[in-house]
Structure 1
Amino acid sequence: MKCIITIELGTNGVRVFAFTLSGQVIGSLKGYYPTFHTEPDHSEQDPEQIFITTLYVLKNLLNEYIHPKKIKVACICFSAAMHSVLAVDKNGNPLGNAITWADNRAKKEAQELRRSALGKKLYAATGTPIHPMSPLLKIAWIRSNDKERFKQANKFLSIKSYIVHQLTGEYMIDYSIASATGLLNIHTIKWEADALQYAGITAAKLPELAPIFTATGKLKKAYQQSLRLPAETKILIGSSDGCLATLGDGVKGEGKATITIEDSGAVRVMGPAVLKDEQMRFFNYLLTDNCYVSGGPTNNGGNIFEWFTRQFGDFTNPFDIEDSIQQLMEEAAKVPAGSDGLLFLPYLLGERAPIWNANARGAYFGLHIKHERRHFVRATIEGIMYEIYSIGKTLAEQRTIKSLSVNGSFGTIPFCTQLIADLFNKPVRLRQQFHSVSFGAWLLSATEMGIYKSLDEAAKTVELPDVYKPNKQHHAIYADYFGIFEKLSVKLYDEFEAIGGLQQKYGVVEDVFKKK
């Protein structure tokens, strides 16, 4: 018996799945690692901790589910979150932490580039919106603000490229992750000269470009021995989490869209054409030749409700946040749609689509004396979903959306899935106990192995049997409140800028007092 193993390098942890060649789950495990916010707008992770966690989880899965049953590993396929940047020296050693997608330190550079003719040219070429999330802007920031690290850097890698290099010794980046850097021309599939010049680097400072079906090379002997895997075990470079979540839900072709809400979130479509937008609101990421995953991302998904839970939840078990989240969901269900007029702007980490404002901030609006904690709970969930809906509403200007699917640990909570159906006023499909990113990686691997002739054929096999139908009365209520939410998100632009400036001015005062 053979199996396919998928490894997803997510924002808050690594997920490892083992599938049979027919797509049945043999077993899965997850390991966690932290994100560090050492300064305002900074979001970093320790690459060595991510690598050690990945090895630990993979080894445990092999020892628990695979080796005892004498199952042969046919291939290992990677997926990862986008927009990370890690500078390494000539020996491949990290120069500090990896900078994640949520990092906003390059917001000044992003604002200036976005307003320029060069910014519009780069967006048209790369398909990546001009925003601090982009590795293009992160590298430019390092060049200007961390000159010693920039000078020592031999390569600028994504987290996945670093992990693959640790395992195989090869420097590679797949088309999907590369197309989210702001450095790749998605039309020529070559590093964009104007982007390289803006970042102050040459193509030699980046990994080798590789199609998603590329085998990266053999595991180093030390890991062959440690993991008890033969030298011929195929390691596929794979794709990004966003592209594979879309593929894993079978969303390929006109009329379909998928919503992911994990820590962050996104609304995506997949097709042969790039979405063109003068306002530069959409991403266009490459999966394979002439196949683009387009849409809009939010910084503020399940991570925001987790923040709320940690601050205001009741922890019966202090180490089990999932129980606390469930309790708050039950509390929210007892509050009518609309939270009795309480609105929440969920921009705790700035925001990407559709407002693309790194200075955006969170706020509760409409508070009155009768509001209780339960109203805040529901308003927080509704605010996260209003932001998702605002992306979908903008995307619908470009593409017809007749059917929706949802994935991600937060989006597939029944209360949240129903809220999505009510907001969009469309049926929402999903499959319970299903992980779309990992299944997308399995579909990719199965296609590479010849089980499917193409990704088109693979996508058509996906079945999402569970359907949530919209409540039209709730939709009408949400539509009225969303109008206010949408206006606030735009009207508060000047105030967002002002508070961001004050944070830069006074943000270190607390630390100064602590030192005294």
Structure 2
Amino acid sequence: MADDTTTTGPYVLAIDLGTGGPKVAIVSMRGEVVAHEVETNEIIVLPGGGVEQDPDEWWRTIVAASRRMIDRRVVDPTDIVAICIGAQWMATVPVDRHGNHLDNAISWMDSRGAPYVKDVVGGGIEVPGVGYNAKKAMTWIRRSGGIPSLSGKDNVGHILYLKHNKPELYRDAHAFLEPMDYLNCRLTGKQVASYDTIVGHWVTDNRDLAAVQYDPELIELAQIDGTKLPDLVPTGSVIGPLTPGAAEALGLSTDVQVVAGMGDTSAAGIGSGAVRDLDAHLYIGTSSWLSCHVDFLKTDLGTNCTALPSGIPRRYWVATEQDVAGKALLWLIDNVLYPDDALGSGPPPDDVFDRLNAMAESVPAGADGTMFLPWLNGERTPVDNHLIRGSWFNLNLETSRSTMVRAVFEGVALNTRWMLGAAEKFVRKQRPKGFEHINFIGGGAQSDLWCQILADVLDRPIRQMAEPRYANARGAAFAAGVALGHLRWDDIPALVQVERTFTPDRANRAVYDGHFAAFTKLYKQTKGVYAKLNAGLYGHA
């Protein structure tokens, strides 16, 4: 997309820090993406379930992307009045009192804290089938809406991992920050978290969204040091202006205001236009989620689905998450089709995604019976299981690469249907007939084929939103616009355009219903095998 010089200010520097790297955009208060730049960040995979990233690389790439746009003077830099970040969340950055990180960031994909979380949340009389102590679960859920994940893939798991494995670092840490809060600290010098960004620590009382506060009993239950938690600020509030150093690095004025950021899930929902209660959106990027906003606090342990504080003040969002979605295609490209190995496949061509779409489109719905299970890093919704893994199923001597590629697209869609069932069950009282349509955003929404597969598999109209890759940045810009008084939340749905609507093809319904039944049955019948195969990797079952 070329720079758009037809818009008028004021503007927001909107930052979408995904796991693969930042997308930085200059966005008008009406959600018009004037200019954008993309950078990539390394994902460091370590033995035993470790996944980390370098916070300095986040900062360097954000600054580089921002300066390229600002130095082009697409807009007058003085017309940029705010910065807002929507970032990956449930990642942990330990910092000293000056905001300097003490180690790499622990990613939301990192499961090394799992055995310590089990000790914290388990024991005694447990909730059948989920592994949580019944009394602890009731206390946590009633107050926070959730509970530390047994997978270890949240802030409690990360902090407990550091406490037990890097005790000196744990002792020296002044605070444990989420990525957006760490970056806001670099921008403003203030170590704070907002009501919605702190939620993955599971130590706040979220029953009153106008006055979220730390809960001493939950902090004690989590076995973490409450003095190492950042101060809280209201959702959507202004943290303060840029420091002189940050302003100089970005090429902006110290008058620019930094608005409290949010998780990418919240930013995406806002940027998709689905800001009204019970309007659904689906995001497919590295990971995926399917969510909507609600006005009630609730948790369903059976499907690992909960309502959490959102980026919209006094509103919750339905939290679902699947670890691997678009990442399955990247894995296919990097590890199967074009790896750097002795076979010399060479680097992937620039149009590799177009080629994959064409290959998949050449294969009929159902991929000739071939199925792909996309659990390459475990799963979260509707099963919280970090030991399951991915595979192709039902290969034969005639199975082609095109068939296997289509199976990957369909496998992610089948997994999404599993997640849709959890989300619609969660709001069945409020929307008994299910979601009327789903706003689709993220990199995956650029694929017309994937849009149609999802419409067929989910049996729901899929609305491909305009500029789907920049929904997170657009959502961050909208939040800044509301914070500074330039627009209202009710204005947003009309500002986000639908590129195209894909309706379910009834001819494919039977094959996908059959595949979905097989998909869920495969999980039930193989989860025990995965547990035995992979328990040794983590030192526990």
TM value normalised by structure 1 = 0.92
> What SS does the aligned partner of 1:216 have?
strand
Q: 2:157 & 2:74 partners in 1: Cα distance?
A: 42
Aligned match of 1:412: 446
8 Å CA contact 1:180–1:285 kept in 2: the answer is no
Could you list the per-position Cα deviations for residues 335-359 of structure 1 after superposition, in whole angstroms to 9, with x for gaps in the alignment?
A: 1111111111111111110111011
* 1:175/1:239 contact within 8 Å kept: no
* Residues 257/481 of structure 1: CA separation in 2 closer, same or farther (3 Å cut): same
Pair 147,314 (structure 1): closer, same or farther in 2 beyond 3 Å:
closer
Equivalent residue, structure 2, for 1:41: 49
Distance 1:228 1:278, change over 3 A: closer
Matched, 1:429 2:446: no
Task: Decide which of 327, 330, 351 is 1:323's aligned counterpart.
Answer: 351
Residue in structure 2 matched with residue 145 of structure 1 by the alignment: 165
Is 1:313 the equivalent of 2:352?
Answer: no
The one-letter code matched in structure 1 to 2:449 is F
CA positional deviation for 1:223 = 2.8
Could you say which residue in structure 2 is the equivalent of 1:291?
315
Matched residue SS, 1:290: coil
Corresponding residue for residue 530 of structure 2: 496
Q: 1:73 to 1:276 in 2, by over 3 A?
A: same
Cα distance in structure 2, aligned partners of 1:472 and 1:241: 34
**2 CA distance for matches of 1:437 and 1:36?**
24
Displacement of 1:40 in angstroms is 2.9
Give 1:403 shift. 1.4
Shift of 1:53: 1.3
CA contact (8 A) 2:30 2:478 kept: no
Deviation at 1:369, TM superposition (A): 2.1
Whichever residue aligns with residue 143 of structure 2, its letter is A
- Superposed, 1:376-391 pairs within 5 Å as 376-391=404-419
Q: 1:32 aligns to what SS in structure 2?
A: coil
- Counterpart secondary structure, 2:498: coil
User: What pairs with 1:171-250 in structure 2 (closer than 5 Å)?
Assistant: 171-188=191-208, 189-250=212-273
The one of 71, 83, 89 aligned to 1:82: 89
Q: Tell me the amino acid that sits aligned with residue 311 of structure 1.
A: N
Unmatched 5+ stretches in structure 1: 507-516
- Residues 20-77 of structure 1 show CA distances to partners (whole Å, capped at 9, x for unaligned) of 333322100011111100213111001111111111111222112446x465212111
**Is 1:282 the equivalent of 2:305?**
yes
Q: Are residues 1:470 and 2:490 paired?
A: no
Q: Pick from 139, 144, 150 the counterpart of residue 121 of structure 1.
A: 139
CA distance in 1, matches of 2:295, 2:349: 41
Q: Is the alpha carbon distance of 1:59 and 1:290 closer, same or farther for their aligned partners in structure 2, counting shifts above 3 Å?
A: same
- The residue type paired with residue 93 of structure 1 is N
1:166-202 Cα distance to aligned partner (Å, 9 max, x none): 2221001122221233232221411232332134334
Whether contact under 8 Å (1:255, 1:403) holds in the other structure is no
| Amino acid across the alignment from 2:436 | K
Q: In the superposition, relative to structure 1, how do residues 107 and 425 fare at CA in structure 2: closer, same or farther (>3 Å)? A: same
Amino acid at match of 2:531: E
* 1:379 to 1:240, Cα distance in 2 relative to 1, 3 A: same
CA contact (8 A) 2:277 2:295 kept: no
Aligned to 1:512: none
Match of 1:339 among 344, 348, 367: 367
* Aligned mates of 1:173, 1:101 — CA distance in 2: 17
1:388 shift after superposition? 1.0
8 Å CA contact retained: 1:299, 1:352: yes
Q: Give the C-alpha shift of residue 217 in structure 1.
A: 2.1
Q: What do you get for the CA RMSD once the two structures are aligned?
A: 2.3
Shift of 1:491: 2.2
The alignment covers a number of residue pairs equal to 504
Q: After the TM superposition, which parts of structure 1 deviate over 6 Å for at least 4 consecutive aligned residues?
A: none
Amino acid aligned to 2:266: C
Q: Is contact 2:77–2:252 with CA below 8 Å preserved after alignment?
A: no
Q: Which of 48, 51, 58 is the aligned partner of 1:50? A: 58
Matches of 1:343 and 1:124, distance apart in 2 = 39
**SS at 1:141 equivalent:** helix
Question: 2:369 and 2:217 mapped to 1: Cα distance?
Answer: 48
The aligned counterpart of 2:182 is 162
What is the TM-score normalised by the length of structure 2? 0.88
What is the match of residue 68 of structure 2? 60
Task: State the secondary structure of the residue aligned to 2:362.
Answer: coil
**Counterpart AA for 1:123:** I
Tell me the amino acid that sits aligned with residue 409 of structure 2: I
Q: 1:201/1:4 Cα in 2 relative to 1: closer, same or farther (>3 Å)? A: same
C-alpha deviation, 1:100, in angstroms: 0.9
The residue identity in structure 2 corresponding to 1:141 is Y
Question: Partner amino acid for 1:87?
Answer: P
**Residue in 2 that maps onto 1:441:** 476
Specify whether residues 89 and 226 from structure 1 end up closer, same or farther in structure 2 by C-alpha distance, changes over 3 A only. closer
Q: Is the 8 A contact 1:273 1:290 kept in 2?
A: no
Contact 1:355–1:490, Cα closer than 8 Å, also in 2: no
Distance 1:345 1:226 in 2: 44
1:454-497 C-alpha deviation (Å, 9 max, x unpaired): 32343454332411111112122111111010111122221121
Q: List alignment gaps of at least 5 residues for structure 2.
A: 1-8, 122-130
Q: Distance in 2 between matches of 1:377 and 1:17?
A: 32
Distance, in Å, in 1 between the alignment partners of 2:184 and 2:376 is 32
